Amino acid sequence: MADGKNKNEETSREILSTLAKEGAFKIMKEATSKLISRRGTPMKLNLTKRQYYTRLRNLKSHNLVKKEGEGYVQTEFGERVYELVSSLKKASEVNAKNDIEDLNSKFTIPNLSEGSETLIKRYDALVEKTLKLLEDAKSEVLLASRYIDYRVTKNILKLDSSVTLKIIGREFSSIEGINFFRALTSPEKLKQALKLAQDHTRIVKRLPYTFVIRDQEFAIVEVVNHLSPNDFFLAITLEDEQICAELVKYFENLFEMSDRTPLSSNEKPSLKNLLTLLKD
């Protein structure tokens, strides 16, 4: 088991080292749609011919890009790695110039094979993993979510009072609010939801991706496909205190930056008014 973990870490370091080389991540970005390899391509990427072809060869050897017609595209594995590294770069406070090198010292790319338990490819599977995370929580849950899901909220309401809870959510429409709170069928649950919204939740205008941290040692992180950012693409589970510490720091910064709760009045009908309508 340890040998498998060490091999995965070694492969991860090699991949991140490859992506940290000058121009490699640019090539990966261009290959998101399709990188047409022509005489002027190295100059376009501010690379020498030698740099360009060396980076391309290394990316191919790690199965990150493949030849397709006159150009190169990301492989399925390369697409996952690209989205994962892009998300981790945003989540980590890293130096702008040497960001991927910093990631190499902090993170390990998890096993992204099809059958890996670390990879979540369906939204319902994301919900199931989140419910299990809530069930296993002993001291703290930090949840930042782009989604509104009554199944998660119902389980949050069941959390033991000894578990510290903070939530960050996005702005949502009136219809989403009505449909969501109709799912909380009893007056007692509505009362609990009001308290949850008022005391434990902050609203941000834009949340780049969903993530949840349990007890500062286990996390679920969404990987967003920037070609279709509003749809669920995939997520990963991570059991790593170092990564969790970075995510906690990012969460706390977002939480402190917003003083808005779901009950804050704004130009749209407030959640408090929606709940009043539902109870009548």
- Separation of CA 246 from chain center: 13
119-279 CATH, one of 3.10.20.90, 1.10.3470.10, 3.30.870.10, 1.20.1580.10: 3.30.870.10
pLDDT tens profile 70-123: 899 999 889 888 887 876 666 554 444 446 655 555 555 555 544 445 788 899
DSSP β-bridge partners for residue 271 = none
Pairing of strands 71-74, 201-204: unpaired
233: helix, coil or strand?
coil
- The CATH class, in words, for 2-98 is mainly alpha
Phi-psi region of 100 (alpha: psi -120 to 50; beta: other; left: phi over 0): alpha
pLDDT tens profile 171-204: 766 566 555 666 566 677 777 777 777 788 898 8
The conformation of residue 269, written as its DSSP 8-state character, comes to P
Pairwise CA distance, residues 130 & 53, whole Å: 43
The residues, any chain, with a CB within 8 Å of residue 160's CB and separated by 6 or more, are: none
| Single-letter amino acid code for the residue at 106 | K
- Residue ranges per structural domain of the chain: 2-98, 119-279
205 backbone dihedrals φ, ψ, rounded to 5°? -65, -40
